[in-house]
Structure 1
Amino acid sequence: MEDVVTLEGVSKTFRGFRLEDVTFSIKKGFITGFIGPNGSGKTTTIKLIMDLLHPDAGTVRLFGHSDPRSRQKAKDRIGFVYAEPPFYDELTVDQTKTVVASFYSRWDERLYRHYRNQFELPGDRKIKALSTGMKMKLSIALALSHHAELILLDEPTSGLDPIVRREILDVLAELIQDEGKAIFFSTHITTDLERIADYMIFIHRGRILYNGEKDRLLEQYRLVKGPREILNPETREKLIGIRETGVGFEALAPNDALPALGSRVLAEPPSLEDIMLYTVKGEPHA
């Protein structure tokens, strides 16, 4: 599997925050999900990939290259979708397309019209008259219309209704059938990633906590519920993010901890959201 993006030991320090020793790759032919709470370093990481920030240490490679000139050329091979598309309100949909198309050597007008029609985007309507969902559809149509090999998505489904979200996810799932492309999907809506992601990267407080197959991450844990009386120093040590109530407790448990909890607990498969929330809750605060 070819790595489209590789970060090796990447660090970046700001006042009050440090991205530390970040190492992962984005593989061609797969959708890689990127999750973490707000302020965990997701946007900083994306800016480092896009060469909008420069690392204090470590190496960022795009399509196998790390030198500035090659990375600048590589941007022609990337489609980027912002959480809030930076469009001019007074331009129409097609005028916006004309502006964007001028930046890409492989712009495909036929492909743009395909996505415009699929998303039912009115070419003569001004940006200011579009709904949030229509603006996001336009942003994705533009990102996909120049044969980009890497699609970077920064919270593309945030604030969208379920119908529009599903429509966008279906397009991404269809797109990745082309094994020559890679999708990097940063979002806090983990249910979207459960539906389409192959790999997951979990970042918290500037550190990578998990980097691997999505299914393997989901299989490592169980969400457990049980009576408070089984909580003792030994069992507490094995559980993650314990939430106690008047009648019992809930927590995340690694699979190898289940035998020690006995038969009085109910163990269920967790969601990605469960894993993220309980892990963050269970981590010591500085």
Structure 2
Amino acid sequence: MNALEFRKVNKTYGDFSLSDLDFALPAGAICGLVGENGAGKTTLIRLLLGAARPDSGQITLLGAEAGTPEFAAAREDVGVVLDEGCFPDLITVPQLERVLADTYLRWDSHRFNGYIDRFRLPRNKRIREFSRGMKMKLSIAAALSHQAKLLVLDEATAGLDPIVRDEVVELFREFTREEDHSVLISSHILSDLEKLCDYIAFLHNGQLLFCAEKDAMLEELGLFTGTAEQADSLLPEAVVGREASGYGGVRALVKRNLVPPTLELQRPTVEDVILFAVKGARQS
């Protein structure tokens, strides 16, 4: 079963449109959602959580179709971390836990308090006194403490120092060791996504340019650095994107199976793929 599915989904807000969105996240996998600000990531998440309705198309969450009673029930199985803290500022962690225990049917107090200790969060301070990073860690602790099957994370590693980010990334890996647990994570920190994700979905101007298995994608593509004459000799369909690299040189992202095997290529990063995809989309 897929953890989530979007089938030909369209949504328009004013002059912005999320167009013909069509992708799925298999159960047990982690998908990184990438795109510039305004690309449609937040709209996608709002649609998935039922905070907005599509103009057309079908959304399925943990096997339940949007607009059905089953869909509303499925949201109990979703842990959510948004880029802005959504907890009341004037309460403390113990007061928040009492609220969450009354909210979720399968709330796990022992697990929640374990994360509070692990993240070294104070219990006697009001949440408004927390830093952005502390609020993010509190949201992650809550999302992981009610036996969710799907985590939806919007910039969940933002505001965290590198050591804590690494710890949080490992927590998400631990979460998906159970075969029916999945993660959809939106982030601008592409190095985190490269370490964590099985799939990368890239939104640009409201359109899904690609959704691909990360390791297969990075194996199929290569980075070429050479002269403009060498780049011009390549098949047009072999070049995903190119840029000048100074002194007449060219740097290009290419499809390995369409270039001569004698051409020396480097393995790209996720960041390389995204940057060249953006440049290619702007050029077209």
Larger displacement relative to structure 2 (66-75 or 106-115)? 66-75
Q: Which residue of the partner structure matches residue 62 of structure 1?
A: 61
Q: Which residue of the partner structure matches residue 227 of structure 2?
A: 227
Q: Which residue of the partner structure matches residue 109 of structure 2?
A: 109
Q: 1:175-190, aligned counterparts within 5 Å?
A: 175-190=175-190
Distance 1:237 1:4 in 2: 34
Q: Note if contact 2:202-2:211 (Cα within 8 Å) is conserved in structure 1.
A: yes
Distance 1:247 1:147 in 2: 56
- Measured after TM superposition, the shift of residue 167 of structure 1 is 1.2
- Measured after TM superposition, the shift of residue 194 of structure 1 is 1.2
Q: 1:37-186, aligned counterparts within 5 Å?
A: 37-66=36-65, 67-186=67-186
- Structure 1 stretches of 4+ moved >6 Å: none
Q: 1:194-205, aligned counterparts within 5 Å?
A: 194-205=194-205
- Code of the residue aligned with 2:34 in structure 1: it is I
* Cα shift readout 1:59-85 (whole Å, capped 9, x = no counterpart): 011222213322222211111000111
* Cα shift readout 1:98-133 (whole Å, capped 9, x = no counterpart): 223322111111111121122222222221222222
Match of 1:268 among 266, 269, 272: 266
TM-score by length of 1: 0.91
Distance 1:147 1:35 in 2: 26
Q: Note if contact 2:100-2:107 (Cα within 8 Å) is conserved in structure 1.
A: no
- Measured after TM superposition, the shift of residue 192 of structure 1 is 0.8
Larger displacement relative to structure 2 (168-177 or 26-35)? 26-35
Task: List runs of 5+ in structure 2 lacking aligned partners.
Answer: none
- Code of the residue aligned with 2:188 in structure 1: it is H
Q: Which residue of the partner structure matches residue 257 of structure 1?
A: 258
Distance 2:257 2:180 in 1: 38
TM-score by length of 2: 0.92
Kindly tell me the number of residue pairs found equivalent between the two proteins: 282
* Cα shift readout 1:28-83 (whole Å, capped 9, x = no counterpart): 22212211222221111111100111111100112222133222222111110001
Q: Which residue of the partner structure matches residue 32 of structure 1?
A: 31
Distance 1:122 1:101 in 2: 19
Distance 2:237 2:5 in 1: 35
Distance 2:231 2:164 in 1: 44
SS across alignment from 1:38? coil
Distance 1:107 1:256 in 2: 50
Distance 1:230 1:150 in 2: 47
Distance 1:76 1:160 in 2: 27
- Code of the residue aligned with 2:112 in structure 1: it is Y
